[in-house]
Amino acid sequence: MPACDGRELGYLSLLNQSLYHSSGPKHGFSTLSSADLILIQKWLAKAGTITSRKMNASAEYARMLAIAIAEARQGLSEGGVPVGAAIFHQDGRLVSTGHNRRVQSGDPSIHGETDAFRNAGRQRSYRDLIMVTTLAPCWYCSGLIRQFGFPTVLVGESRNFQGGLEWLRSFGVQVIDCDSEECVTLMADYIRAHPDVWNEDIGEEE
């Protein structure tokens, strides 16, 4: 599953340190042939390129998620459930934004994802779009994602709520879970302060 950070860079750094500084007979460069050294250099170069691409993707994911987080905070300031969403083209162009407004509007169907979906207007196809949401989508919103064929879902976090992520994965939807501490804290604080509204939002009995 794609990651939202550059942890691979740290792994490569550790590998480099191990190879260059270890004095053990199994790891020191002194025991390697010239051919081995060339192979390692090629591998590191390839791994570095892959890592660079992933880091660029991570920065793009962070940019997209920041827009959804701003929507979540807007919803919270209005007295609503802090779940924000945004829809992007695969090339990064913003299509629409939205946030959970079921409390503000008295409409239980307006979740963050559905609000962004409505604000996107009619689309000929959704197969080049990314649904971005600060929290793992509930079954209702997961159904929307599946129904209209979104190929990718970027999720701020799934610790507070897992929703339909595994179900979406089972249909080949690419799920990118950023595990954002900001999103985790935002949602956890709200659930702790308003458990009744939260349970109502996800259709659970208190």
Q: What is the pTM of this model?
A: 0.74
206/193 Cα distance (integer angstroms): 14
pLDDT digits (tens, 9 = 90+) for 43-98: 556 655 555 565 577 889 999 999 999 999 999 999 999 999 999 999 999 999 99
Q: For residues 95 and 89, is the Cβ–Cβ distance under 8 A?
A: yes
Residue 181 designated active-site: no
The one catalytic residue in 113, 181, 204, 206 is: 113
| pLDDT of amino acid 17 | 47
Q: For residues 129 and 150, is the Cβ–Cβ distance under 8 A?
A: yes
Number of Cα atoms under 13 Å in the Cβ half of residue 105: 12
pLDDT digits (tens, 9 = 90+) for 89-123: 999 999 999 999 999 999 999 999 999 999 999 99
- Region 9-32: mean pLDDT is 46
Average pLDDT in the chain: 84
Percent of the chain with pLDDT over 90: 67
